[in-house]
Amino acid sequence: MAQYLLDTNVLLRTVGPPSAHRAAAVRAVDALLSRGDELLLAPQVLMEFWSVTTRPVEVNGYAWTPRDTEAEVTKLLEQFPLVAETPEVFDEWLGLVSQHAVVGKQAHDARIVAILKIHGIANLLTFNADDFRVYGISVVSPESIPTA
């Protein structure tokens, strides 16, 4: 059994409007679950999910109400385990952003990497593989997951 941390973009695609990315995200999640792999959530990912789903459509959001977003987050938490926020995650993140001279929004990605490293999670399931390659972690695209 392998473990995968679900990146925000995968979660968003599973609930978003129909698209090729949505189909790939849903297929990948279903395939990983059916083969017995463990899919995990991180508080960082759920905060980013909330930000996008409640943001207006004009700025690349979903324009959901906070109540609708809360209901979806509750469903996600019922389906997937949540890894803990620990002080070690911050320490790892600070080391990563310093070592890699991270700027701007990429600081969020470095926090995801810190969570993976601290919790010993082997894989990150994401549509943005290039954003994470610098960290030397196992990055898996939903499109690369074989379906049964």
pLDDT score at 55: 96
Residue 147 pLDDT exceeds 90 = no
Domain total for the chain? 1
Domain containing residue 100: CATH number: 3.40.50.1010
CA distance 35 to 147: 10
pLDDT tens digits, 97-131: 999 999 999 999 999 999 999 999 999 999 999 99
Instruction: Supply the pLDDT for residue 100.
Output: 96
Tokens of 19: 């698209």
Q: What is the pTM of this model?
A: 0.94
Token code pair at residue 106:
């990429």
> Measured between alpha carbons, how far is 102 from 111 in angstroms, rounded to an integer?
11
Place of tokens 């409640």: 54
Residue % of the chain over a pLDDT of 90: 92
Residue 39, φ and ψ in degrees, nearest 5: -105, 130
pLDDT at 16 > cutoff 90: no
Q: Which residue range is the domain that position 12 belongs to?
A: 3-144
